[in-house]
Structure 1
């Protein structure tokens, strides 16, 4: 009795998770296996295809399956190969220059965050901010990582999606390359007063947040998948959801900065 109830509860939980996971696929292509539609959608997004073209391609597959009664796998084959065969144009927002503009606010925030966190303990202790060789090298590594992401975003995203273990190892290696110089190369290059450094760090953090907010609330900040003849209300809802997620992401760096700065100040005191 109890095991049956537990199994039913687990099945219901899995169904709910599946419904949430494939909500977009079921809405845009209700006659297509959602797993097949998801694989096709992810591949087109990795290619940098805009939401309208993705929705149109999925809509064509859905129309065929609805009219013929065939499964998408039987009619079109492997979803990834089919998506690649379409040759759809890349969205201008996915070009390297556009990607660089998109990550610039985050870079500004990170610079402001590091400068703020370096300044707080020095300010509490009444000392200047010592800039070490490791800190300078870490900044170079961070800038190089951002440059690679802006220049070759698609291979990086493919690795994270299709090879998550390799992606996690790569992220760990990058984090190690960023942290090790801070720990091992502590020779001082120069020192700056703590108050101006803290003011500059806060200003850069605020500037980055402002840039990110402007981008997150802009008309082109989201590119939802839009099915053919989709009603404007659904499109507007998806844009609102995308902006809401973007706004939450904007708060991550400043919130983390405040928490860590308070901790570092307390430890320094």
Structure 2
């Protein structure tokens, strides 16, 4: 099975809330059929995105809300970007014994970032299906620039808060982002029913970053605050 076909299928199935075990079963079925027939997945099952959509349509009605997956992606993107902004502001504030400031541009970056994350996944599934995954790194670079521009250009302060409050709020937003991506990072794993193993759908370091990155960033932020904050007698 080609990586491009598999990745496009899995991405659309995830976005349509197909349970991980069902995705694993479908992948095993595709791989077994192709091994026996000598056909490619595209020849035997057609377009991976449409095949994943057909699989999702077989689920009971409560489990196949077509908007839920995209809404969750947008929420995760907005929460993640907002969390990073609050974390940086909070660390800088506590380290310099000053209030944390949130600018108008931060809100703009959150909205643009959420839209970009949704657009990225929409493009990613088609790029994988068409063998154009080389487009994704430059797309990410463009998205990061567009997301950062409002924060850079619109620096007027919207409100202020204590640094530790900003760090705590960042932790809450990280939790929201993690829960929004729970089907990808949580217990609903894709498992091959023949072997009980997880298919190598992404490099292990990518999955590790998704699962443990937010907690690591929070711990690093607290460590920096402890190291850099002014002394009591200063």
Scaled to the shorter chain, the TM-score interval is 0.5 to 0.7
1:84 to 43, 46, 49: 46
Partner residue, 1:238: 198
Deviation at 1:160, TM superposition (A): 5.6
Q: Bigger radius of gyration, 1 or 2?
A: 1
- Give deviations 1:49-82, integer Å, cap 9, x for gaps: 8332232132123223xxxxxxx2xxx4x65344
- Give deviations 1:20-48, integer Å, cap 9, x for gaps: xxxxxxxxxxxxxxxx5555544543553
- Are 1:133 and 2:133 an aligned pair? no
Verify the 8 A CA contact 2:5 2:128 in the aligned structure 1.
no
Partner residue, 1:157: 125
Verify the 8 A CA contact 1:116 1:198 in the aligned structure 2.
yes
Deviation at 1:238, TM superposition (A): 2.9
Deviation at 1:184, TM superposition (A): 2.5
- Give deviations 1:233-254, integer Å, cap 9, x for gaps: x22x338x99x98566311122
Partner residue, 1:62: 35
Verify the 8 A CA contact 1:105 1:208 in the aligned structure 2.
yes
Structure having the higher helix fraction is 1
- Give deviations 1:154-175, integer Å, cap 9, x for gaps: 4323326722332211111100
CA distance change for structure 1 residues 182 and 62 in 2, over 3 Å: closer, same or farther? same
Structure 2: unaligned runs, 5 residues or longer:
none
Question: How big is the alpha-carbon RMSD for the aligned residues of Structure 1 and Structure 2?
Answer: 3.9
- Give deviations 1:119-153, integer Å, cap 9, x for gaps: 1211232222222232221112112223435xxx3
Measured in 1, the distance between the counterparts of 2:73 and 2:175 equals 16
- Are 1:179 and 2:148 an aligned pair? yes
- Give the alignment of 1:3-42 within 5 angstroms: 38=3, 40-42=5-7
Give the TM-score taking structure 2 as reference length: 0.66
Verify the 8 A CA contact 1:37 1:58 in the aligned structure 2.
no
Give the TM-score taking structure 1 as reference length: 0.59
Of the two structures, which has the highest relative contact order with CA contacts closer than 8 Å and spacing of 6 or more? 2
Structure 1: unaligned runs, 5 residues or longer:
1-35, 65-71
Partner residue, 1:122: 93
CA distance change for structure 1 residues 90 and 122 in 2, over 3 Å: closer, same or farther? same
